[in-house]
């Protein structure tokens, strides 16, 4: 079996109003919620602070592809934000991973844990980020490399 990449990793579930953040420590496989950041003018500063604190080997940004796997309006918006994040945290750190159905899976997990829909609002973005990170960790486990697509492989639009 391939060796896992080293270092902490962060995952970001970027929404219009809120940004969920999750983390996993170096050498571990347990993703956990970190916080929900308000999407707005200070969001990049807060994300930079989290990157500085965790010193991750990668920041996985969930890319909301449509069900056909194509870039719709939501994916284009997240791509724009991912490029802004890369400008702040440095090149080579931000990677895109398919996040289709991550919020649905997170909602199911929270519901199974006894949280009603109304109670989920405060943590659903963090739970979706955990789901994104778990998917990336699974991909790392099977390939032995960082998951997703490096942002610098794409052109800015």
Say what the pTM is. 0.84
Mean residue pLDDT across the chain? 83
Is the pLDDT reported for residue 2 higher than 50?
no
User: Are residues 60 and 12 in contact, defined by beta-carbon separation less than 8 angstroms?
Assistant: yes
User: Are residues 14 and 39 in contact, defined by beta-carbon separation less than 8 angstroms?
Assistant: yes
Is the pLDDT reported for residue 68 higher than 90?
no
The confidence score (pLDDT) of residue 110 equals 46
The larger pLDDT score, comparing residue 120 to residue 71, is at 71
pLDDT in tens, 129-156: 999 999 999 999 889 899 999 988 876 6
Strand partners, 32: 23
DSSP state of 69: S
Give the orientation angle of helix 73-89 with respect to helix 43-54, to 10 degrees: 60
Is the pLDDT reported for residue 41 higher than 70?
yes
pLDDT in tens, 77-128: 999 999 999 999 987 899 999 886 545 444 455 445 455 555 445 667 888 8
The larger pLDDT score, comparing residue 6 to residue 51, is at 51
Give the separation between CA 106 and CA 18, rounded to whole angstroms.
15
Token pair for residue 12? 């970001």
pLDDT in tens, 18-36: 999 999 999 888 899 999 9
């Amino acid at each position: 079996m391939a060796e896992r990449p080293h270092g902490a990793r962060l995952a970001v579930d970027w929404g219009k109003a809120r940004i969920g953040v999750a983390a996993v420590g170096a050498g571990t496989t347990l993703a956990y919620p970190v916080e929900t950041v308000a999407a707005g003018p200070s969001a990049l500063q807060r994300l930079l602070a989290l990157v500085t604190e965790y010193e991750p080997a990668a920041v996985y940004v969930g890319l909301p592809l449509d069900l056909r796997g194509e870039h719709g309006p939501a994916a284009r918006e997240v791509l724009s934000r991912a490029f802004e994040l890369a400008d702040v945290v440095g090149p080579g750190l931000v990677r895109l991973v398919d996040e289709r159905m991550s919020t649905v899976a997170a909602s199911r997990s929270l519901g199974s844990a006894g949280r009603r829909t109304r109670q989920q609002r405060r943590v659903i973005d963090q739970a979706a980020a955990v789901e994104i990170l778990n998917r990336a960790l699974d991909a790392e486990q099977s390939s032995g490399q960082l998951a997703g697509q490096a942002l610098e492989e794409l052109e800015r639009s």
